[in-house]
Structure 1
Amino acid sequence: MKHFAAGAMLALFALGLPAQGLAGDVDPASVPEIKRSKLQLYLTPQDAYEIMRKDAAHTLFLDVRTRAEAMYVGMPTMADGLVPYVEHQELMTDWDERRHMYQLMANSDFLPEAESRLKAKGLTKADRVILICRSGDRSARAADLLANAGYTQVYSITDGFEGDAAKDGPQAGQRIVNGWKNAGLPWTYKLEKQKMYFPR
């Protein structure tokens, strides 16, 4: 039995995939508090890209940003769907002083929509789920929500789609440090209707 387990691990490494339950090459201790999730499973954008390139059939990859973000900023082409963790109010009348933007509200459709996408792909709550947001904090909160609902392998992309903002220099405040887009991974402005979220 030990030989079988060792052989299975070697096969996973030969494919270039993290073993089920391993967190890729992101050290959980290096993840900022705001980006930490209960399961402590993290991926870089490059890790997620390689998993989807080699094992998309056994992985659900969800973009958890708002519809406006996907529409105006673009979306990873490999994502299976857009399932917003939070959304803007329909009329956007309330302001978030802390974040300097219109108020976001919890999306009550998040859990049923995620489960619907999971089942449509023939997967279960024990299969790998990858989440991406703008910079890694909302995907961590969404991962916690899924974990509380019984999902066991929810990975958060710590750098997100746009990445972190530069702290100094001429581009201070701009999201140029890391992330899916800055890594040159495939993304598009041309959205596919079947991947998009529509309120229930």
Structure 2
Amino acid sequence: MKRTLCILSLACLATVSHAQEWKQGASDWANLPTVKQSRQGLYLTPQQAYEMVQKEGKNTLFLDIRTRAEAMYVGMPSAVDALVPYVEHQEIMGEWDDKRNIYVLEPNVDFPKEVERRLTDKGLNKQSRIILICRSGDRSAKASDLLAMSGFSSVYSIAEGFEGDMGKEGPSANRRTVNGWKNTNLPWSYKLDKTKMYFPK
């Protein structure tokens, strides 16, 4: 338990870096920004992930790993099997992360166990394909590394994430309009399905 918490804490800190702009639909994975890279090196564009889930959904677990607040206020991809947060905000958001300019995020120590439960519910196992999506591809890469260390062998990260990267200049500066699931116009909704939601045990 302590080892998992330590690994999650280090992985959470690793998400502080910001990725350089990644072109929508790009798949030149050798040039993927470092912050979006995982040890397994398995990546998908949003379109590739959507097509894979459409064709091979029974053999694939597709997880949104953002916080519950992100799913509730920003929406979720319609094709995901479940929301399993990799990190979460404190119950009472009273502490501030000065480096990231957000409320403090804490590791979700249930993350690997909850992923395994969702796999089992779908009749799959640790060798089955898992696709992860976060906001912009940073957290999903770190979550992929954690799952790999926990014995999951085929974990893909959607490099653009759900909202995508922020623009650098002009009207798109500091807005997530560069790439991502939403900006690719793939199916998503604000309407949430309770059976897909994460409830801490």
SS in 1 for 2:185: coil
Give the aligned length: 176
1:86 aligns with 2:87: yes
Q: Which amino acid aligns with 1:127?
A: S
Structure 1 residues 30-79: Cα deviation after superposition (integer angstroms, max 9, x where no partner): 21011110100000000000001111000000000000000000000100
CA–CA distance in 1 between the matches of 2:74 and 2:63?
16
User: Displacement of 1:26 after TM fit?
Assistant: 2.6
Higher RCO (Cα < 8 Å, 6 or more apart) = 2
Structure 1 108/180 Cα, relative in aligned 2: closer, same or farther at 3 Å? same
CA–CA distance in 2 between the matches of 1:131 and 1:110?
12
1:102 aligns with 2:106: no
CA–CA distance in 2 between the matches of 1:93 and 1:131?
29
User: Displacement of 1:171 after TM fit?
Assistant: 1.9
Question: In the alignment, what sits opposite 2:195?
Answer: 194
CA–CA distance in 2 between the matches of 1:193 and 1:170?
36
Question: In the alignment, what sits opposite 1:21?
Answer: none
Q: Which amino acid aligns with 2:147?
A: L
Aligned 1:7-156 pairs, distance under 5 A: 26-156=27-157
CA–CA distance in 2 between the matches of 1:176 and 1:26?
18
Normalised by the size of structure 1, how large is the TM-score?
0.86
User: Displacement of 1:124 after TM fit?
Assistant: 1.0
Equivalent pairs: percent with the same residue? 62
SS in 1 for 2:155: strand
Larger-Rg structure? 1
Q: Which amino acid aligns with 1:121?
A: K
List runs of 5+ in structure 1 lacking aligned partners. Answer: 1-24
RMSD of equivalent CA atoms: 0.9
CA–CA distance in 1 between the matches of 2:138 and 2:177?
17
Deviation >6 Å, runs of 4+: none
CA–CA distance in 1 between the matches of 2:29 and 2:190?
32
Q: Which amino acid aligns with 1:36?
A: Q
Q: Which moved more, 1:26-35 or 1:127-136?
A: 26-35
CA–CA distance in 2 between the matches of 1:127 and 1:199?
24
Q: Which amino acid aligns with 1:166?
A: G
SS in 2 for 1:182: helix
Question: In the alignment, what sits opposite 2:171?
Answer: 170
Normalised by the size of structure 2, how large is the TM-score?
0.86
SS in 1 for 2:156: strand
User: Displacement of 1:27 after TM fit?
Assistant: 3.1
Q: Which amino acid aligns with 1:46?
A: Q
SS in 1 for 2:181: coil
Structure 1 residues 121-174: Cα deviation after superposition (integer angstroms, max 9, x where no partner): 011111110000000000001100110011111000000000000011112010
